[in-house]
């Protein structure tokens, strides 16, 4: 009986192991997956009821929301290095589709309007702030520098390597890569997506995934580390900057600019006033000294001679 039991147990493990291994999310390490039937694997975002489509990128809004979940709730799906820089990270309000809601608010009833990349595009206000629409981010400019290499990279080779990276790793169609310019060690990438069909990934999601990869906080599983090679040589990315350009200009008011101009004008007026006062004081002192000297000479002339 024992040999037969061992064979049966081995078959069960052999069948169960592949099913367990395949029940993972290859595009989001924070997704919690469960086998809820033969060949049926369901993945949901950690701490959320939103289902995750692991065949494509997860929306930036859902990713930011997952990052704001307390670490004890993330458990094994916590980023290995945590969030090293929380600037710009907040707990967003997301539509069921994964899009950002046009108006975002924090715990202190402060609200602001965002674009489709979740980037603030208005001054902050109260709960009465109205955001009529979610303005689309049409262009994204990515600038990065790489470490110096003993071997120079060719411009076409760099463009080809990065195009393949965005297409294979981030599922971005090459038609959305408008331009790649290379002036060692600076690389400039422009993503252009005027309208996004339902079946295509959003360039805002691509930029967010790429940013997390560069800063070693990848959303992909830990065994999927970012590697970029140009003709077999590693392209080690050193610094990264991302700029978002919307279909409509941002609606920041002129209060900050006006305050700055007022400060400059005040300084100039005060400086000019102090200068004029100093000149008047010097002139008054010189006039007073001259009059004293003149009066002294007159007294000496009018004084009677003792002889």
The residue extents of the domains of the chain are 31-75+86-246
Q: Above pLDDT 90, what percent of the chain?
A: 33
Q: What contacts 13, CB < 8 A, 6 or more positions away? A: none
pLDDT at 227: 87
Contact 212, 18 (CB under 8 A): no
pLDDT at 253: 66
| Residue 233: pLDDT over 50 | yes
- 276 pLDDT band (50/70/90 cuts)? confident
Taking residues 63-72, report their average pLDDT.
74
Q: Which of residues 239 and 149 earns the better pLDDT score?
A: 239
| Residue 255: pLDDT over 80 | no
pLDDT at 288: 65
- 207 pLDDT band (50/70/90 cuts)? very high
Mean pLDDT of the chain: 78
Taking residues 153-170, report their average pLDDT.
93
- 294 pLDDT band (50/70/90 cuts)? low
| Residue 298: pLDDT over 90 | no
Taking residues 108-132, report their average pLDDT.
90
Predicted TM-score of the model (pTM): 0.68
CA-closest candidate to residue 206, choices 170, 160, 179: 170
Give CA separation, 129 vs 114, 132, 222, 246, 255, in Å: 12, 10, 41, 20, 17
Taking residues 28-34, report their average pLDDT.
85
The whole-angstrom distance between residue 150's C-alpha and the CA centroid of its chain comes to: 31
pLDDT at 49: 73
| Residue 269: pLDDT over 80 | no
Query: Buried (b) or exposed (e) across 53-82, using 16+ Cβ within 10 A?
Result: ebebbbbbbbbbbbbebeeeebeebbbeee
């Amino acid at each position: 009986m024992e040999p037969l039991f061992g064979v049966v147990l081995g078959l069960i493990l052999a069948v169960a192991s592949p099913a367990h291994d395949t029940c993972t999310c290859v595009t989001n390490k924070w997704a919690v997956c469960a086998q809820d039937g033969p060949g049926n694997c369901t993945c949901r975002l950690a701490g959320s009821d939103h289902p995750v489509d692991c065949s494509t990128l997860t929306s930036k809004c859902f990713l930011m929301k997952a990052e704001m979940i307390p670490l004890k709730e993330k458990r094994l799906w916590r980023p290995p290095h945590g969030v090293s820089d929380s600037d710009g990270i907040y707990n967003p309000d997301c539509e069921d589709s994964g899009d950002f809601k046009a108006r975002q608010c924090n715990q202190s009833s402060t609200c602001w309007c965002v674009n489709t990349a979740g980037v603030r595009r208005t001054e902050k206000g109260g709960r009465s702030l109205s955001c009529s629409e979610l303005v689309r981010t049409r262009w994204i400019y990515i600038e990065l520098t790489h470490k110096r290499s003993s071997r120079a990279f060719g411009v076409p080779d760099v463009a080809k390597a990065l195009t393949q990276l965005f297409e294979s790793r981030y599922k971005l169609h090459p038609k959305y890569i408008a331009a790649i310019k290379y002036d060692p060690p600076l690389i400039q990438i422009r993503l252009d997506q005027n309208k996004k069909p339902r079946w295509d990934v959003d360039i805002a999601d691509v930029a967010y995934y790429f940013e997390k990869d560069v800063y070693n906080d990848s959303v992909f599983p830990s065994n999927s580390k970012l590697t970029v090679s140009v003709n077999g040589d590693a392209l080690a990315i050193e610094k990264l900057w991302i700029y978002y350009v919307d279909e409509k200009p941002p609606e920041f008011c002129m209060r900050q600019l006006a305050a700055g101009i007022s400060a400059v004008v005040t300084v100039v007026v005060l400086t000019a006033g102090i200068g004029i006062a100093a000149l008047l004081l010097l002139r008054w002192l010189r006039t007073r000294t001259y009059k004293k000297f003149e009066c002294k000479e007159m007294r000496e002339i009018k004084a009677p001679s003792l002889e």
